[in-house]
Amino acid sequence: MEMSEEAVAAVVPIAVYWGYSGVHMALGHAGVMDRYRLNTKEEEDSLNTVSKRAVFLNILMQHFMQLASIALLDTVVRGETQTPTKDKEDSYLTVAARMAVAAVVFDAYRYFWHRFAHRNRFIYRHLHYWHHCILVPYAFGAFYGHPIEALIEDTGSGLLAILVSGMSPRATAVFFSICNIQGINLHCGLNLMPRRLQSGWNSAAYHAVHHMPRGIRYNFSDSFFVMWDKVLGTDMPYAVHERPAGQGLVVKPMPPPKKDN
């Protein structure tokens, strides 16, 4: 059975999600990346209030929901279209420009939704709180959350990015694969980002602050950039220190600078 390009665009990012997070988990169990860990394995097991089995089933359910939605949409589109259409060939520069637009739209949507989900008590208590049951993030739990919020945030941001940018199905597959990789990078619990890039690009250390009780109302940037936090005053600085005897790293949030009256 031949799959449409739209179906491939849905399947590829999911495969990338499990493949990339699987590599992270394997390296973590092997201890290869222990010196870059922001939390110890004991903290990961003791501080989180949801089991990894529940997280695994939640992410799996979300992915099945995505595939079912795409399959339904694809059936409707094929039923309405009698003759196959071929996408016009865009230059690499055009594809890159469309993906850049998609990144900005995707990033902005997720920042403002994420911020709203924390400021609105009802939304936080009934939807977004699920994600913060993972106090110590790890790779495959990157998109753990309430299914309704997944529909609003993940599906909503993705659809808007596609509509505004006009990306083709192939470009969409690449773009959302990159989004999944970045989401895992933010939740993998490893400080791998070069220091010179941390002022503008989101990282595991930056996002780890948000998962701490002290930083939960800061560092809402949820994808690529941290500019929204910096411009809108929700940025909490932090420092990364080495643990004794080379047992990894620890993130220390610092109070945001006071604004002059």
Q: Where do the domains of the chain lie?
A: 5-78+93-253
* pLDDT number for residue 216: 92
Mean pLDDT of 150-165: 91
* pLDDT number for residue 84: 46
Point out which residues pair with 115 in neighbouring strands: none
Residue 244 has pLDDT above 70, yes or no: yes
Whole-structure pTM value: 0.88
Lookup: tokens for 120: 């609105």
Q: Is the dihedral of CA 110, 111, 116, 121 positive or negative?
A: positive
Residue type, 71: A
Q: In which element (H, E) is residue 239 found? A: strand 238-242
Nearest to 188 by CA among 13, 1, 27: 27
d(CA 230, CA 236): 9
pLDDT single digits (tens) 23-49: 998 988 878 888 899 988 888 889 999
As to burial, measured by CB atoms within 10 angstroms (0-12 exposed, 13-18 middle, 19+ buried), residue 227 is: middle
Angle at 171 between CA 169 and CA 174, to 5 degrees: 110
In the predicted model, what is the mean pLDDT of the chain? 87
pLDDT single digits (tens) 96-116: 999 999 999 999 999 999 999
Backbone angles phi, psi at 252, to 5 degrees: -115, 105
Residue 8 confidence class, pLDDT cut points 50, 70, 90: confident
Which residue stretches of the chain are H helix? Answer: 5-30, 41-47, 52-80, 92-119, 121-126, 147-149, 156-165, 169-187, 204-210, 227-232
Mean pLDDT of 141-147: 95
Listed range (136-150, 174-188, 243-257) with the worst mean pLDDT: 243-257
* pLDDT number for residue 2: 55
CB of 111 closer than 8 Å to CB of 222: yes
pLDDT single digits (tens) 183-232: 999 999 999 887 777 778 899 999 999 999 889 999 999 899 999 999 99
d(CA 53, CA 175): 28
Higher-confidence position of 86 and 117: 117
d(CA 153, CA 112): 10
* pLDDT number for residue 256: 64
Residue 120 confidence class, pLDDT cut points 50, 70, 90: very high
d(CA 84, CA 238): 53
* pLDDT number for residue 88: 54
Higher-confidence position of 172 and 76: 172
Lookup: tokens for 191: 């400080």
